[in-house]
Amino acid sequence: MRVAYKMEYKYPVDERSSIELVPYSTEYKNKYKQVYNDCYHVMRVKLDKKPYDFIQDDTFFHTGMESVYLLLDNGEIIGSVALRGEEIDDLIVNPRFQGKGYGKQLLLWALEHINTERIILHVAEWNKRALNLYTKNGFEIVETIPI
């Protein structure tokens, strides 16, 4: 059975982010779509979740983008994260920049900027790197969800 985990921030870390993010802007729509699909494609194939490229058209951008923040370098998207209520969502790192510590920096930034006492996120069991990142930075699995 394939599962995802709901994780809750239980053990605060004493570390600060060294990056600055900017709110999503429509000028980055095509780049965001590409990076988002690149990040989730392999997982969606492994889990046989169709469509494999999740963002199919512009309807994805009609709601919720006001909660998305981008890490940019000369107009290129390094990564992004969404802060939706008590949830850190869609934390992604452009595959070209993975393995360089940006995921941790995005997570730390999100923890500093989310405006709620309880903080949760969801991660597929398949995504061992993300699961390890979240566990090492204060999150604990609180629920297992079949997918």
Q: What local confidence, expressed as pLDDT, does residue 23 receive? A: 98
Average pLDDT of adjacent 10-residue blocks, the chain of 147 residues: 93 95 96 91 80 79 94 97 97 95 98 96 94 97 95
Q: What local confidence, expressed as pLDDT, does residue 116 receive? A: 93
pLDDT digits (tens, 9 = 90+) for 97-117: 999 999 999 999 999 999 999
Query: Who contacts 83 (Cβ-Cβ below 8 Å, separation ≥6)?
Result: 67, 69, 89, 110, 113, 114, 115
Question: Cα(113)–Cα(116) distance, rounded to whole angstroms?
Answer: 9
Q: What local confidence, expressed as pLDDT, does residue 42 receive? A: 81
Q: What local confidence, expressed as pLDDT, does residue 61 receive? A: 86
Domains, the chain, in order of start with CATH, read: 3-146 (3.40.630.30)
Q: Yes or no: say if 77 and 28 are a contact pair by the CB < 8 Å rule.
A: yes
